[in-house]
């Protein structure tokens, strides 16, 4: 009788399924940190207040953004702006949920990045539903050149997207999972 080679081991099931617990934890933590920071800013600042944190670079302030990222669509009438923002948010959430199910995005870091994007989007949606605008309070500047004010949700979205862009993608089962 000839010994046949042992069958190749199958990858653990966690390689093949999204980590919904991890995604939920990161997304909920992002929403919580975002909403707590905005709550503190709303209770401490009035619109236009500025508190220097690092002189010449970083202030805390309170602004409300009725538009999309970086003030996009603020010039539209309220009805059109809300419609475009709602459609954009729904499309973004659908894209994130779609990517969570893709084999190339099942590694731990990829799932964390997608969860950060999801949590950031939810954090800003909460503002829109509660206040009709997003609370922004981080003011980064150099001299008299200011980047548009942003918040923790915006930061989570940007960091999540940057990770996805920089993360090498493989067409096979992730090895770093």
Which residues are annotated as catalytic? 136, 154
Backbone torsions φ then ψ of 39, nearest 5 degrees: -60, -45
DSSP string, 14-47: GGTS--HHHHHHHHHHHHHHHHHHHHHHHHH--T
How many CB atoms neighbour CB 97 within 10 A? 13
Tokens linked to 54: 């690092």
Backbone torsions φ then ψ of 47, nearest 5 degrees: -55, 130
Tokens linked to 131: 């206040």
């Amino acid at each position: 009788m000839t010994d046949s080679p042992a069958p190749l081991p199958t990858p653990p099931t966690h390689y093949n399924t999204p980590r919904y617990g991890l995604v939920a934890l990161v997304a909920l933590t992002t929403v919580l940190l975002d909403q707590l920071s905005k709550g503190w800013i709303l209770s401490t600042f009035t619109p236009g207040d500025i508190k220097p944190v690092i002189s010449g670079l970083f202030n805390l302030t309170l602004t409300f953004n009725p538009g999309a990222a970086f003030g996009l669509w603020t010039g539209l009438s309220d009805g059109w702006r809300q419609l475009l923002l709602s459609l954009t948010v729904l499309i973004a959430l659908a894209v994130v949920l779609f990517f969570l199910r893709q084999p190339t995005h099942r590694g731990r870091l990829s799932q964390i990045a997608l969860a950060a994007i999801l949590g950031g989007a939810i954090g800003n949606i909460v503002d829109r539903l509660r206040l009709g605008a997003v609370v922004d309070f981080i003011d980064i500047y150099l001299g008299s050149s200011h980047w548009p004010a942003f918040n923790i949700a915006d930061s989570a979205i940007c960091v999540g997207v940057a990770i996805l862009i920089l993360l090498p993608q493989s067409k096979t089962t992730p090895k770093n999972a």
